[in-house]
Amino acid sequence: MLALIGGTGFENDGIITDCDEVLVETPWGAPSAPLVFGCLGGEEVIFLRRHGARHEWAPHRIPYRANLWALKKAGATGVIGVGTVGGIGEAMTAGTLMVPDQLLDYTWGREHTYYDSPEAGVKHIDFTLPFDENLSGLLVRAARRTGNTIVEGGCYACTQGPRLETAAEVQRFARDGANVIGMTLYPECALARELELPYAGLCVSVNSAAGLRESRKVIRFEALAEAVNRAVAGAVEVVREALRLERELREENGLA
């Protein structure tokens, strides 16, 4: 069964149904919220509210290690991480979806590995491609099948937050090769890799990054509500279809 980590769009009433909420503990503490065993469009999913049930966890404080550990323990076979982003290039204006295939990490001090004690030992995961290609491809196929435009591939810059960036920082990230900026997919994707859990990102652009286009002087999320709501609804459709595709594939392979 696939797991979904997200918030915006998936927490509304009636999106995830038939829910069973389970409080869990892990060697890394409690996850951000109880695990929700439910259905999205009739497809089973384990949903985790990344920022907590009351949106209390800031990006740099999210218990990422507990979150991924809990999902693995609950039997997740892969994780879709949905995150809002600020877009850099014209292709990523507010309201656009993207499945990233690369990552730049600008965070610091986050608990980003399970291998940080002599007891755990040392492990160097391969991270050449930080997102799982098959699961990312599934999201792209799901977007096509539902008629949602999606940018296939791109570089996700993860910042520490919770503040947004300066215009100069955005210029630097653009020079480094970033296409979108968010605050949460790292260390999620690295921890998933350590646990050998396939992980794909689904980015929802909710603004142009600081200093660009409509955000030239200030970022006003309110002004973009309509485009954002459309993109969020698109993301829900894409995930729903991806869950269906994944089940069909499992059934075809006799693994269901």
Q: Is 2 strand, coil or helix?
A: strand
**Using rule CB under 6 A, residue 96 touches ligand HPA:** no
DSSP classification of residue 60 = G
User: Which burial class, exposed, middle or buried, applies to 24 when counting CB atoms under 10 A from its CB (0-12, 13-18, 19+)?
Assistant: middle
Q: Of 165 and 237, which has the nearer Cβ to ligand HPA? A: 165
**Using rule CB under 6 A, residue 209 touches ligand HPA:** yes
E strand spans, the chain: 2-6, 16-22, 35-40, 43-49, 78-87, 97-99, 102-105, 150-152, 155-158, 180-182, 199-208
Q: In this structure, what token pair is assigned to residue 130?
A: 């930080």
Of 197, 80, 72, nearest in space to 140 by CA: 80
Positive/negative CA dihedral, 20, 21, 23, 26: positive
Q: Of 45 and 94, which has the nearer Cβ to ligand HPA? A: 94
List 34, 81, 86, 198, residue binding ligand HPA (CB under 6 A): 86
Q: Of 41 and 89, which has the nearer Cβ to ligand HPA? A: 89
**Using rule CB under 6 A, residue 85 touches ligand HPA:** yes
Q: Which stretch binds ligand HPA (CB under 6 A): 30-38, 136-144, 202-210, 234-242?
A: 202-210
Contact 34, 69 (CB under 8 A): no
**Using rule CB under 6 A, residue 103 touches ligand HPA:** no
**Using rule CB under 6 A, residue 179 touches ligand HPA:** no
CA-CA distance, 65 to 113, in Å (whole number)?
A: 7
Closest CB 161 distance from ligand HPA, rounded Å? 7
**Using rule CB under 6 A, residue 5 touches ligand HPA:** no
Count of Cβ atoms closer than 10 Å to residue 214 Cβ: 14
Q: In this structure, what token pair is assigned to residue 182?
A: 């968010």
List 88, 143, 164, 200, residue binding ligand HPA (CB under 6 A): 164
**Using rule CB under 6 A, residue 7 touches ligand HPA:** no
**Using rule CB under 6 A, residue 181 touches ligand HPA:** yes
Count of Cβ atoms closer than 10 Å to residue 79 Cβ: 27
Of 44, 40, 43, 47, nearest in space to 67 by CA: 47
**Using rule CB under 6 A, residue 207 touches ligand HPA:** yes
List 183, 202, 224, 242, residue binding ligand HPA (CB under 6 A): 183
Closest CB 164 distance from ligand HPA, rounded Å? 5
Closest CB 165 distance from ligand HPA, rounded Å? 6
Contact 176, 123 (CB under 8 A): no
**Using rule CB under 6 A, residue 148 touches ligand HPA:** no
Closest CB 206 distance from ligand HPA, rounded Å? 5
Residues of the shown chain interacting with ligand HPA in the complex, contacts defined by CB under 6 A = 84-86, 159, 164-165, 181-183, 206-207, 209
